[in-house]
Amino acid sequence: MIRLTGVSKGFGGTSVLTGLDLEVPTGTTLAVIGRSGTGKSVLLKCVARLLYADAGFVMVGGEDVGQADPRALRRIRSRMGYVFQFAALFDSMTIGENVEAPLRREGVPPTEARRRAEAVLERVGLGGSADSLPAELSGGMRKRAGIARAVVAEPDYLLYDEPTTGLDPVTTAVIDELMVGLKRDLGATGIVVTHDIRSALRVADSVALLHEGRLHTEGTPQEIRDSTDPLVRAFVEGKSELWPEHSGPGR
Ligand SMILES: Nc1ncnc2c1ncn2[C@@H]1O[C@H](COP(=O)(O)OP(=O)(O)OP(=O)(O)O)[C@@H](O)[C@H]1O
Ligand SMILES: [Mg+2]
């Protein structure tokens, strides 16, 4: 399980997350939606301790991420897959080498690492792309390569930052199915940060709407679909005029 209790994070006096409480039971997926700049990526980074929370606790599988010493942190991170918002592949390495990297870091022998990387690439529909460089792939293919790298070591925790943003609806549906299948097969506990409400409703057991760094609403996909809350409706219907300040959901 992943649990955030009273998590706050700011930068230079500006508060981004304020007293956030969230719980993701083992084997479930939480989607976090919210406008651009509301702190969604910051939240994920606090879970992986790429950023330190200023206050509160982040617990991952019973371990306090904020208090973890370097060894404990390595152990926690080795059980975690992180899909970065902008794919973040190593440009000078092939797709195959990128996907193998987490296995190599854990000392998996090269032939086995290669075999497992190829199997995962096959799974994300990139079977023929192991020898390509990231620059040779489309945006959607790079996203899928980023997912392959995040899941190759069969993590217990999966953190996805905008896995489908900017992709066409067909590629989005493919990635959504992939996320659902991986959750089923790995039994992983996941957080999916997304602008894409349809994607959130498809992949998540629970959906949390962040607004101005606070948890505004959380509910099952059905509860979110049926909600009469104006902010939730603005998201579900994609209507910018429903936002209190008359500006649309980001990007
Ligand atoms: N390392 C950092 N240093 C200073 N400010 C930061 C840092 N990271 C994020 N911020 C600020 O925190 C706020 C929230 O950023 P964050 O990236 O979490 O937004 P987001 O909800 O993921 O937005 P988007 O939907 O556009 O990805 C922004 O105002 C951003 O400028
Ligand atoms: Mg972000």
The predicted-structure confidence for 195-246, as pLDDT tens digits, reads as follows 888 899 999 999 999 999 999 999 999 999 999 999 999 989 886 655 555 4
Query: Tokens at residue 169, please?
Result: 């609806």
Domains in the chain, CATH or no CATH each: 25-52+74-79+156-251 (3.40.50.300), 89-154 (no CATH)
CA–CA dist 204, 95 (Å, integer) = 28
213 Ramachandran zone, left/alpha/beta (phi>0; psi -120 to 50):
left
Tell me: the pLDDT tens digits for 75-113?
Answer: 999 999 999 887 788 999 999 999 999 999 889 999 999
Q: Do residues 59 and 116 touch, judged by C-beta distance below 8 A? A: no
| pLDDT tens sequence across 126-175 | 999 999 999 999 888 898 999 999 999 999 999 999 998 878 888 888 88
C-alpha 11 – ligand 1 centre gap (Å): 9
- Residue located nearest, by CA, to atom 3 of ligand 1: 11
Task: Please state which of the ranges 59-68, 185-194, 210-219, 238-247 shows the lowest mean pLDDT.
Answer: 238-247
Q: Which residue from 9, 14, 20, 42 has its CB within 8 A of the most atoms of ligand 1, so it is best to mutate? A: 42
CA-nearest residue, atom 5 of ligand 1: 11
**Distance from C-alpha of 65 to C-alpha of 47, rounded to nearest angstrom:** 7
At residue 182 the predicted structure's pLDDT band, cuts being 50, 70 and 90, is confident
Q: 127-141 pLDDT, tens per residue?
A: 999 999 999 998 888
Show the ligand 1 pocket: residues with CB < 6 angstroms.
11, 16, 34, 36-42, 85, 195, 250
